[in-house]
Amino acid sequence: MTAGITPGISTAPVLQVNDLSVTFRTEDGPVSAVDRVSFEVGDGEVLAVVGESGCGKSVTAMSLAGLLPRTATVDGSVRLDGVELIGADKRTLRTIRGREVAYIFQEPMTSLNPVFTVGHQIGEVLRTHIGLNRQAARDRSIELLKLVGIPSAERRISDYPHQLSGGMRQRVMIAMAVACDPKVLIADEPTTALDVTIQAGILDVLRELRERLGTSIVLITHDLGVVADLADRVAVMYAGRVVETAEVHELFAHPQHPYTAGLLGASPAAGRHAESHRLNEIPGLVPVLTQQPDACTFADRCPRAIDTCTATEPDLTPGHHRVACWNPVREPVEV
C-alpha cells in the first residue's frame, strides 16, 4: 500500500497522501486508527472516502492539516502542491488551514460559534488570511453567502447561528470554508446531520463550487448515495486501511473487495431487493486495533476468507481499480 491510488489523473495531484498512519495514545495502550493510507486528489476532483463508523476516515481527514489532538502520533507524508504538511511547524500549518485546505464538519449546529454573527465568523477567515479590512470582509462575506445560496444575504450576515436552520448553517460553514478559495476542501460527513431534502441542496452547493471554483474535494462519508451523487473516485476504508479504490461507476458496477460488495449490499436503492425486501448486513463490527496485524483485517467478517487472509496482509493491486484482497470478487455481484 505504498504507491498512490490512481496513477491515471491527467494533471499533477493537488493533494498526495503517502503511507499516512495515525496512532492514539490511550490509557489502554496505543490504538492504531489509520494504517499506511495512500491516496491522491487531482485538481477539481472529488474523492470520496467511504467506510463504517470507526474505520478511520474522519481521523484521516483531521490528520491532513494537523487537527488531531496531542495524543495522536502521525507518520507518513501529506503533500499539498508539493509542500509537506506532516511535521510542518504550527505557524506554517496555520497559514495553510483555512486558506489552502478548508474543512466542513458534520454538525453544523455546534460547529459555528454561538456568540458571534455568521458575518463575523466568515469575515474572520478573510481578515486573518487575506488581510481584508472589516468593510471589505463584510462585502466579500455577503458575496460568499450568495454563492452558497443563502437568500437575503445582506440581512443574514448579521444573524447569529441559532437564528439559522441546520441547512443554512451548513451553507454558512461552506461559505466560510471556501472564503479564501482553498485548493482542497475536506468535507467530513457534510450531510449526515441534515434532513434528506436539505442534503440534496448541500450536495448541489458542493457540486457547483467544484465546477465554478475548481476546488478539489475530499468527501468523507458513510452514505453511498452521497458518493454516487458527487464523487469522481472512491477509496473504501476498513479498520484504518484503504481496501479498495476505483472510479465511482466502476466501483459501484464491479466491487472487488468483499467488504465493498457488502457495503453496497447493505445500502438501500430503488429497484433493488424488490423480492426480498431485506438488506444484506455485514455481520460483526469494525475491530479496534492496538496494532495492525500482518493479515487482512476484514478476514474475521469475510464470507470469502481463505487461509492466506489470516496469514499475510494483502497489498493493493496496481492499476486504475485497485483492491487489497487475496480472494476478490471477480464475477459481477448480485447485491
Partner 1 sequence: MRRYLFHRLWQSAVTLVLATIVVFAGVRALPGDPALALAGEDRDPESLRAIRQQYGLDQSWLVQFWQFVSHAARGDLGQSIRTGAPVRGMIGSALPVTIELSVLAILIASVIGVGAGVVAAVRRGRPSEWAANALALLGLSVPHFWLGLMAILYLSVALGLFPASGFVPFFSDPAANLHHLVLPALILGTGLAAVIMRQTRSSMLDALSADYIRTAEAKGLPPKSVIGKHALRNSLIVVVTIVGLQLGALISGAVVTERIFALPGFGKLTVDAVFQRDYPVIQAVVLVTATAYIVINLLVDLLYSVIDPRIRVRGDA
Considering beta carbons, is residue 187 or 323 the nearer one to partner 1? 187
Secondary structure of 159-222 in the HEC alphabet? Answer: CCHHHCCHHHHHHHHHHHHCCCCCCEEEEECCCCCCCHHHHHHHHHHHHHHHHHHCCEEEEEEC
Stretch that binds partner 1, among 81-89, 156-164, 195-203, 295-303 (CB under 8 A): 156-164
Contact 32, 289 (CB under 8 A): yes
Closest CB 61 distance from partner 1, rounded Å: 10
Stretch that binds partner 1, among 44-52, 89-97, 224-232, 239-247 (CB under 8 A): 89-97
Closest CB 101 distance from partner 1, rounded Å: 8
| Torsion sign, CA atoms 58, 61, 63, 66 | negative
- Per rule CB under 8 A, is residue 89 in the interface with partner 1? no
DSSP calls for 47-69: EEEE--TTSSHHHHHHHHTT-S-
Contacts of 97 (CB under 8 A, 6+ apart): 65, 66, 67, 103
Considering beta carbons, is residue 70 or 278 the nearer one to partner 1? 70
Instruction: Pick out residues in 39-68 that bind partner 1 (CB under 8 A).
Output: 65, 67
Considering beta carbons, is residue 113 or 308 the nearer one to partner 1? 113
Closest CB 315 distance from partner 1, rounded Å: 33
Closest CB 29 distance from partner 1, rounded Å: 19
Per-residue b/e over 203-240, b at no fewer than 16 CB within 10 Å? bebbeebbeeeebbbbbbbbbbbbbbbbbbbbbbbbbb
Instruction: Pick out residues in 166-195 that bind partner 1 (CB under 8 A).
Output: 173, 176
Instruction: Pick out residues in 276-315 that bind partner 1 (CB under 8 A).
Output: none
Considering beta carbons, is residue 125 or 305 the nearer one to partner 1? 125
Q: Which residue matches cell numbers 493491486?
A: 317
Closest CB 167 distance from partner 1, rounded Å: 17
Between CA 132 and CA 140 the distance in angstroms is 9
List the x/- string, 14-43, binding to partner 1 by CB under 8 A.
------------------------------
Stretch that binds partner 1, among 8-16, 77-85, 88-96, 149-157 (CB under 8 A): 88-96
What order do you get walking across the sheet with 72-80 strand by strand? 29-41, 15-26, 72-80, 83-84
Number of chain positions touching partner 1 (CB under 8 A): 30
Phi, psi angle pair for 16, to nearest 5°? -125, 115
**CB-facing half-sphere around the CA of 160: CA atoms within 13 A:** 5
Stretch that binds partner 1, among 48-56, 160-168, 226-234, 306-314 (CB under 8 A): 160-168
Going along the chain, which residue ranges are E strands? 15-26, 29-41, 46-50, 72-80, 83-84, 101-104, 184-188, 216-221, 233-238, 241-247, 322-323
Closest CB 258 distance from partner 1, rounded Å: 35
Considering beta carbons, is residue 107 or 313 the nearer one to partner 1? 107
List the x/- string, 93-132, binding to partner 1 by CB under 8 A.
xxxxxxx--xx-x-x--xxxxxxxx------xx--xx---
**Residues binding partner 1 (CB under 8 A):** 65, 67, 93-99, 102-103, 105, 107, 110-117, 124-125, 128-129, 160, 162-163, 173, 176
